[in-house]
Amino acid sequence: MRFLREVYVVFWKEMLVWVNNPMLPVVRALVFPMMWIVIFGSAFGGEVNHIPVAVVSEDTGELALSYLSMLSTGRTLELRYTSPTEAERLLKTRGVYGVLYIPPGFTDELRSGGRVRVSLSTDESTPQIAEAMSAHILRVSRTFSAALGTGDAVEVVRNPVYGRGVKYLDYLAPGVVMMTILFSSIFSGGLNLILDREFGTLKMLMVSPVSRDAIILGKIFAGVAQSIASGAVALLVAMLMGVHLKSGAAGFGLVILLMFISGFGFIGMSTAFATRITQLEQLMVVMQVIIMPMWFLSGGLYPLESMPDWMRPLAIVNPMTYATDAAREIMIRGIIWQTLAVDFAVISAFAVTMFLIGSYSFKKTLGGVK
């Protein structure tokens, strides 16, 4: 009971100071993300490769085979031949970005000079990928038709199943929201701790009878609360700008929960760094060497599929990748636990680990009589 009260006192003061400095939170929460959106939202580029696409082929004729082999030439697509139910499952769980359906009689129809329709069901929650995939299939179909002598023998019908009408802004917003959490954790966790130590405000707590654990918890909770506040503002701003939030209030709540969990991870991480840092310049180095790459390699700006192969492992070990992915899932595709479970599991494991490391190293640097 007394312990909780102590945690609360420390927490309360941190929050009071934070709220009393109205400029900073606003700047951190708004200006930063806006800048990113403007800079990167209009500067997207990069070639997308190795897009997994399921193929449900009900025709095994010669022309179907040569059409499919033309599609798989080059690095753009990776075709997987599956049953219709499996294809549907893959599309739902993001195993593939599209399902290409080749109707029965494809070969016969074309042989007799007729026209066929292949349908392409798409997951457009990553608009760059959906575009690259469709463009490739359209181009191949046109070339294929031309070879047969009719310009439009093969017609592709595109049918967005997930993420209908998603634009790049929708794609970008979830990443920016999570970036706000990442960056404000650096301010509210690491920087705050360094300033406290430098200004001696930590001393004030250390000479008081408040338990060391309460000091640490109070500060970490305050850091997380501040990060969530910034993230929530960013989320609201994104929604005002017309960004998708597919699953409504439940989705909003889930994104906040995601911010809460990731906040612990990032605050823990920046606290751990801060305890080893004696100069502010070093924090800037950490910022450049660790934090910025975490953001760039998270798939927040460009889909991971557009990364060069050597870079992908970095994205896979980057916790930010999972945070961004989860936020985007919730906001664009809806709450689909089959895919969210992995993201949440990774983020939670990261959060617990970093919280423990951060609070342990914080406690160690406090020093003095225990």
Q: Which residues bind another protein (CB under 8 A)?
A: 2, 5-6, 9, 12-13, 16-17, 20-21, 191, 194-195, 198-201, 203-210, 279-280, 367-370
Nearest to 36 by CA among 141, 156, 168: 168
Q: In whole angstroms, how close is the CB of 231 to another protein at the nearest point?
A: 22
Q: By the 8 A CB rule, do 199 and 277 touch?
A: no
Alpha-carbon gap, residue 335 to 15, rounded angstroms: 32
* Residue 36 or 187 with smaller CB distance to another protein: 187
Q: In whole angstroms, how close is the CB of 184 to another protein at the nearest point?
A: 14
* Residue 240 or 369 with smaller CB distance to another protein: 369
Q: In whole angstroms, how close is the CB of 369 to another protein at the nearest point?
A: 4
Alpha-carbon gap, residue 177 to 183, rounded angstroms: 10
* Residue 16 or 38 with smaller CB distance to another protein: 16
Q: Any residues with CB less than 8 A from the CB of 238 and at least 6 apart, and which?
A: 33, 173, 176, 177
Structure tokens at 2: 């007394």
Say which amino acid occupies 159.
N
DSSP letters spanning 339-360? HHHHHHHHHHHHHHHHHHHHHH
Say which amino acid occupies 267.
I
* Residue 149 or 200 with smaller CB distance to another protein: 200
* Residue 126, φ and ψ in degrees, nearest 5: -115, 90
Q: In whole angstroms, how close is the CB of 360 to another protein at the nearest point?
A: 18
Structure tokens at 301: 């700006």
Q: In whole angstroms, how close is the CB of 227 to another protein at the nearest point?
A: 18
Strand partners, 81: 55
Q: How far apart are the first and last CA of the chain?
A: 20
* Residue 249 or 369 with smaller CB distance to another protein: 369
Q: In whole angstroms, how close is the CB of 198 to another protein at the nearest point?
A: 5
* Residue 151 or 200 with smaller CB distance to another protein: 200
